[in-house]
Amino acid sequence: MRTEGAVILLVFSIHYADLLYCFWNTGCPYKYLSTETPYNSVRGDIRDSIVKLKGCEPVSLWGIYRHGKQLPSSHISKSMKEAVAIRNYVVTSYEKGFSSLCAQDVENLRNWEFNDSFFDGKQDITEEGRKEMAGLGRRLKEAFPALLNDLQKGSYTFRSARGSWVEKSIKYFVKGLGNKKLNIEDSKAETDVMDPYTTCESYQENVQKNPNISVEADAFLKHSDYLATKDKIQRRSGIDYTLSDKNITALYDLCRYTWSAVDGKASPWCALFTKDDLQVLEYIQDLKHYYSNGYGTPVNKVFGRVPLGDLVQSFEKVKQGGGKKITAYVTHATMLDQIYTALGLFKDSNPLTGANMDRERKWRTSKISVFSANLVAVLNRCEKEGSEDYNVVFYLNEEPIRSICEEGVCSWLEFETKLRPFINTTIDFCEPRSEPY
């Protein structure tokens, strides 16, 4: 009898513990949603974090940006749209007493409004994405007013990769600068410094379209951490049919894509997951991007060197009395990941694998590859004891990066030593292709 009582008490405790977690009033919901993390959830503020050096003034900015928050692609939106029907089963299971979701979480999910245009697969940025990009331009101008208040023709470069959502992103970034006379260059059909991988046939075939790239992510789907998460989601929802891996992914995407950081509104779909669940699903995405864009595939660092070579040349021209006050490229998460890899940033001592979930890993797409993620370099000209010198400060998502150079400030010698070799980067292994994929 004592044993039976202990079992009943244990079961009751587990069920009661589930009930204690209510997403709607958790206060600090887990906001790291891999590459679909809203920029406002993780960004700094360049106006507050700008590194001010005595005797120095900024003379040039070079930045590469991921596009703003976009609508889900046709493939993803199709799965998400099909998964919306699961909401009815969740509500019904709650009404029958089979779900451990909180009443308010169920009510919020029931009241969530379906927007058919959101799921039409149109390649476009969302209203939040427009605000993200405009905010970037506005804060940059406020941080560097002397440099950006009076941009004349020839003193700037604004260009994006191809794609309507990317091209709209650069337009809103420029709009945020507050100068209606600024011109945006047309996207290039041929190979461009901001996305050289898109016109590389061998890369597309051997990496982007290679199913073996997802081997480690697929292996993790058999790991006990993922299987336990899948079981918890099943029990938490209380629905009477078995959720597939495809269902879990689609529900996770509903949570990610319908979260609004601009309005401060977390998605009611996220109530289906606990913090631990979201961390496990986040790791799957990290594995995918680690191998498709990052350290898991050696060729990625080669592509990452291409825009960094452009950065060096851009600043060298300014040192020589020419160059641009600002260069801004808008591209994709793939390019940002490849640049991090080329710089040796966020590199773990051991490769990420599906056999073990490293909770202390450095490679976190939720912090480095979010919507509107950006890497900005600032060239400063300094006057010291009557002589002129230069240094460079890097910012990631509007916060200084201290790992590239000591204390986050690169002397010109350090900067040139680290990055100048990238000017000679070649991608001759790519077969010529005039149109990007």
Domains of the chain: residue spans and CATH:
30-424 (3.40.50.1240)
Predicted local distance difference test score (pLDDT) of residue 436:
55
Give phi and psi for 395, each to the nearest 5. Answer: -130, 140
Predicted local distance difference test score (pLDDT) of residue 63:
98
Closest CA to 103 of 253, 242, 268: 268
pTM: 0.93
Q: Is 100 exposed, middle or buried (0-12, 13-18, 19+ CB in 10 A)?
A: buried
Predicted local distance difference test score (pLDDT) of residue 26:
86
What b/e string do you get for 199-222 counting C-beta neighbours within 10 Å, with b at 16 or more?
A: bbeebbeebeeeeebbebbbebee
Predicted local distance difference test score (pLDDT) of residue 406:
82
| DSSP H or E run through 166 | helix 164-176
Predicted local distance difference test score (pLDDT) of residue 434:
52
Give phi and psi for 310, each to the nearest 5. Answer: -65, -40
Predicted local distance difference test score (pLDDT) of residue 433:
56
Q: Look-up: residue for tokens 């204390």? A: 407
Question: For residue 424, what is the DSSP state?
Answer: G
Predicted local distance difference test score (pLDDT) of residue 384:
83
Predicted local distance difference test score (pLDDT) of residue 385:
80
Distance CA 241, CA 254 (A): 19
Question: For residue 30, what is the DSSP state?
Answer: -
How far apart, in Å, are the Cα atoms of 205 and each of 163, 210, 211, 417, 428? 20, 6, 10, 34, 16
Contact by Cβ (8 Å): 339, 64: yes
Closest CA to 265 of 98, 39, 29, 7: 29
Which portions of the chain are predicted below pLDDT 50? Answer: 1-3, 5-19, 437
| DSSP H or E run through 399 | strand 399-400
Predicted local distance difference test score (pLDDT) of residue 18:
47
Closest CA to 307 of 276, 341, 281, 273: 341
For 359, residues 6+ apart whose C-beta sits below 8 A from its C-beta are 279
